[in-house]
Homo-oligomer: A and B are copies of this chain.
Amino acid sequence: MNYSQTDGKRVQAALLIIGDEILSGQTHDKNLPHIAENLNNVGVQLAEVRVVPDIKKEIIDAVNALRRRFDYLFTTGGIGPTHDDITAEAVSEAVGRELIQNQEARRLLEEHFKYNGTEINEARLSMANTPKGAELIRNPISTAPGFRVENVYVMAGVPKIMQAMLDNIIPTLQGGAQKLSRSVLCNLGEGSIAQGLKDIQDKHPDIDIGSYPHYARANYRLSLVIRGFDDKKLQDVQEAIHRMICDLGGDPIRGEELDNQ
């Protein structure tokens, strides 16, 4: 899974989700977890996400804030043929490049429409518009491509199409270290383990320990998730947490033991 991975380097990305339908609650975003996991597999950590409406100025401001701050910016949504699809235009303005009809994209679309017997019209061809100098991101599902310009990757919002595009992007990324995680589960209250957990966290400042209570149906469960870049350290912290919970009379189980049950 380690494409172009440079040991030790931290590489961070942001995700910009574009669409009124997410903000209204009508559509539930399913792309965030998929993108987060696939990026981390090649050593890129998702460090911020924003959701903005289909308003050009909002998209431009968010693109500029995020592309400057992170190594990579990924966007989803707003690249279809209808009037509410304004991502290509907004990203062009954000990066200060002219919006042009990309000839390679036009050729791909025309071939696809001819093959399917679909009428070629202005709206459909608008899906060939990209900022000048952009590289296409192909997708075998609907053919209409996404694009990369500088460090901004523009993808579709429909999950299957987004996933196909991301599959094509992943091998091209220059990742750093992959963030690893280990966990310990128990049924003690957060308040009972908080002091011991803090002591362990304080001893390991380069490891992040998160505490997540779950109340699935009537079953309470506490997940302690240990994240970092060095598995040897994660293992040490996992053992320290395991011991601490035993000492408190809890009944800890390591995440990997649960996976094997």
Interface residues of A (CB under 8 A from B): 17, 19-29, 32-37, 40, 45-54, 58, 80-85, 118-119, 121-124, 126, 158, 160, 179, 181, 189-195, 197-198, 201-202, 208-215, 225, 227
Cβ–Cβ < 8 Å partners of A215 in chain B: 158, 160
Do A81 and B179 touch across chains, with their CB atoms under 8 A apart?
A: no
A12 to chain B, nearest CB (A): 10
Q: Are B191 and A54 in contact (CB under 8 A)?
A: no
CB closest residue in chain B, given A29: B32
Shortest beta-carbon contacts, A-B, top 9: A123-B194, A25-B36, A124-B191, A25-B33, A49-B51, A82-B211, A83-B198, A25-B37, A81-B191
Given A20-B208, A22-B32, A24-B37, 12 more A-B residue pairs with CB atoms under 8 Å apart are A24-B179, A25-B32, A27-B212, A48-B53, A48-B58, A49-B49, A80-B211, A83-B194, A83-B202, A84-B210, A118-B191, A124-B194
10 pairs of residues in contact across A and B, judged by CB atoms under 8 Å: A23-B48, A24-B40, A25-B36, A27-B212, A29-B32, A48-B51, A48-B52, A48-B58, A49-B51, A84-B210
- Return chain B residues, CB-CB under 8 Å to A227: 20, 24
Most B CB contacts (10 A, CB to CB) among A37, A46, A194 go to A194
- The listed residue (B25, B81, B82, B192) touching A46 by CB distance below 8 A is B25
* A84 and B211 contact, Cβ closer than 8 Å, known pairs A47-B23, A119-B191: yes
The answer on a CB contact under 8 Å between B47 and A194 is: no
Question: How many whole Å from A119's CB to the nearest CB in chain B?
Answer: 7
| Complex interface: chain B residues within 8 A of A84 (CB) | 201, 208-211
Residues of B within 8 A of A81 (CB): 190-191, 194
Contact partner of A26 (CB less than 8 A), chosen from B17, B20, B126, B225, is: B225
Residue on B with the closest CB to A65?
Answer: B65
Q: Determine the distance from Cα of A195 to Cα of B122 in the docked complex, in whole angstroms.
A: 8
Complex Cα distance, B48 from A29, in Å, reads 14
- Inter-chain CA distance A196–B112, complex, in Å, is 23
**Nearest-CB distance from A51 to chain B (Å)?**
4
Given A24-B40, A24-B181, A80-B213 contact (CB < 8 Å): yes
